[in-house]
Amino acid sequence: MGVVVGPRVIDAGVSLLSVLISPVPVAAGYPSPAQDYFDGRIDLNEHLIKDITSTYVVRVSGESMEGAGISDGDELIVNRALEPKDGSVVIAVLDGELTIKRLRVTGTGVVLQAENPAYPDILVPSVADLVIWGVATRCLHHV
């Protein structure tokens, strides 16, 4: 035989532990050259989610943000704790609905901008009239 296989991956809940214990099959008598280099798999949570308490995933419905590379059916990673700034892609509350737009804050006012010429921008009288639900940080675009 000569091959020792590490603890089996049972399911998503326990796989990480198993993986860390023995990432690769270990050949008895001859150490695997990969063994020392294994440092854990890429974990998307670690790279895409800055704060687990404030990060949500939402799904886009509609084409008004095509120009920003955000298409109908794409998923967005949204951080509610980020301060929205001029240029942020935001989820705003408009008429009781979650709506995605690009936020433009200028000297003359606040605009919720569509990224598709077929859709109108929305003028907001003042920042006080605006409820921002969260700031989009990533788009999971379907290719």
70 binds another protein (CB under 8 A): yes
Backbone angles phi, psi at 26, to 5 degrees: -105, 120
* Cα distance between residue 65 and residue 121, in whole Å: 11
121 binds another protein (CB under 8 A): no
Q: Is residue 71 flagged as an active site residue?
A: no
Distance of CA 22 to the CA centre of its chain: 30
**Segment near another protein (CB under 8 A); pick from 26-34, 62-70, 103-111:** 62-70
* Cα distance between residue 7 and residue 19, in whole Å: 8
Please give the structure tokens belonging to residue 39: 């440092």
Choice between 24 and 58, CB closer to another protein: 58
119 binds another protein (CB under 8 A): yes
- Work out which of 32, 75, 104, 111 binds another protein, going by CB under 8 A: 75
Q: List Cβ neighbours of 71 (8 Å cut-off, separation of 6 or more).
A: 60, 63, 65, 141, 142
What single letter denotes the amino acid at residue 90?
Answer: V
Q: Is residue 101 flagged as an active site residue?
A: yes
Active site residues: 64, 101
Which residues sit at the interface with another protein, rule CB under 8 A? 7-8, 10-17, 21, 51-54, 56-65, 70, 72, 75-76, 80-81, 91, 93-100, 114, 119, 131, 133
